[in-house]
Amino acid sequence: MKRREAVRSIGTAVAALATGSPAAWARHGASAPMLTRRIPSSGEALPVIGLGTWQTFDVGVAASERTPLEEVLGAFVELGGKLIDSSPMYGNSENVAGDIAAKLGLRARLFVATKVWTSGKAQGIEQMEESMRKLRATPVDLMQVHNLVDVNNHLDTLRDWKQAGRVRYVGITHYTASSHDALAKVVAARPLDFIQINYSVGEREAERRLLPLALERGVAVIANRPFAGGNLFRSLRSKPLPAWATEVDCDSWAQLLLKFVVSHAAMTCAIPATSKVAHLRDNMKAGYGRLPDESLRARIASEIL
């Protein structure tokens, strides 16, 4: 199912937003700069909409493959984005993101997050050093233990690396609700700056324990799968956007779904992935304007059930 089949047409506003101009966005209800949340462990502010690279940045060297991604990353930064997330698990994505950021001169304007995804202390060190080389990020802003693979071994390494200034922040990740209990155990036992988890209006299991625990422990939260892997768009394909979406400055389902995610008190940033600049611009608008309160969050959820 193509996403455009699920996104409501917004007429002349699309033409204005397509320019990428913050001034044009402001004329259509968006404020500047983008909404931010602070990383609890440091107070550093991060824009609430980031960019994932799973599948989308896993391309070759041909201009036909990379030029659209140059447009995506350029627009992402222009429209207020900062956090870009990758992993050695994502094929060529780290290398492509690093190459494009270097070509466009964007490294200083990005918050670069990646992961370690292997077993063994020495293997982990080797993989992390390779990731930093590919991303051209030394130090790297955030290094995360991907899917809790050999988590304690790598967190020991990252504790030392953070003290030495090789990484700025340390975290853990997973993408399934079945792993939330395991994540919670690590959050309770180890000093962490970030967790990255699946969270969307269609996958709300984290609300039961993990998000309250993150608030309690002062851990920033990144939401992967903010559209539940595209399933939300499929379920909404024939449903018009509710008129009350304008109360939170939304004119597409993507914006409403993302605002549901980032309006949770524990949430720091959502990282939708895309290789299409039109979708990127649509996503980024979710970082501007009003956020839903609890009443509107419940109304958004009721549209999905």
Our CA dihedral for 10, 16, 18, 23, rounded to 10 degrees, sits at: -130
- pLDDT, mean of residues 146-156: 98
Q: Which residues pair with 143 in a beta bridge?
A: 114, 170
Sorted by sequence, the CB contacts under 8 Å of residue 160 that are 6+ apart come out as none
Residue 122: the pLDDT is: 98
CATH label of the domain that carries residue 77 = 3.20.20.100
Res. 13: pLDDT tops 50: no
Find the range with the poorest average confidence among 29-38, 70-79, 213-222, 243-252. Answer: 29-38
Q: How many structural domains comprise the chain?
A: 1
What would the pLDDT profile of 169-222 be if each residue is shown by its tens digit?
999 999 999 999 999 999 999 999 999 999 999 999 999 999 999 999 999 999
pLDDT in tens, 52-65: 999 999 999 999 99
Question: Strands of 269-270's sheet, edge to edge?
Answer: 51-52, 83-85, 111-116, 140-145, 167-173, 194-198, 220-224, 269-270
Answer yes or no: is 14 within a domain. Answer: no
Average pLDDT, the chain: 91
SS3 of residue 286 by DSSP: helix
Domain housing 210:
34-246+253-304
Strand blocks (E) in the chain? 36-38, 45-47, 51-52, 83-85, 111-116, 140-145, 167-173, 194-198, 220-224, 269-270
Confidence of residue 304 (pLDDT cuts 50, 70, 90): confident
**CA 193/CA 47 separation, integer angstroms:** 16
9 within a domain of the structure (yes/no): no
Give the model confidence (pLDDT) of 98-146 as tens digits.
999 999 999 999 999 999 999 999 999 999 999 999 999 999 999 999 9
Query: Quick one: the chain helix, strand, coil %, rounded to 5?
Result: 50, 15, 35
Whether 11 is covered by a domain: the verdict is no
Q: Is residue 105 part of a domain?
A: yes
Q: How confident is the model at residue 281 (pLDDT cuts 50, 70, 90)?
A: very high
pLDDT on residue 15:
33
DSSP 8-state symbol, 158: H
In a domain, residue 185? The reply is yes
C-alpha pair distances (Å), 245 with each of 8, 156, 212, 230, 268? 12, 46, 27, 20, 22
Residue 85 lies in a domain: yes
